[in-house]
Amino acid sequence: MQTNNPFDLILSKLDQLQTAVNGLAENTQKPSSPALSSPERLLDLGEAAQIVRRPVGTVRYYIHHRGLPATKIGKGYLVKFGELLAWVEEFNKAGEKADPLDRMRENRKRYKKP
């Protein structure tokens, strides 16, 4: 009298399924392309906005008023990836050095009642 354990059958089927899933996962993984992280890569305003996590209008404001390096092409702007990262680092360093209350103190001095 031979008894087949149904759990052994289930475990073997699960092993087969797991190997099939692993094979599919390996086939679908995209190799990371060096062009995506190249510092010379040109970004449009939408891509630059995603990187700095700000709206496109804010990135346009940064270009006009805060010195974000960009090249105007037609009606739009293109930003080099490396220059964008360098500008963000510089902007963050400048923000860390400045005391947030300095601006308020300057305004108090400017608008002080005589």
87 sits in which H/E element: helix 81-97
Residues in a beta bridge with 68: none
8 Å CB contact between 81 and 40: yes
The pTM of the full predicted model, rounded to 2 decimals, is: 0.53
Q: In what order do the strands lie in the sheet with 76-80?
A: 42-44, 76-80, 71-73
Domains of the chain: 39-97 (1.10.1660.10)
Cα diameter, the chain: 108
101-110 pLDDT, tens digit each: 887 888 888 8
Give tens-digit pLDDT for 55-107: 999 999 999 988 889 999 998 999 999 999 999 898 888 766 667 788 788 88
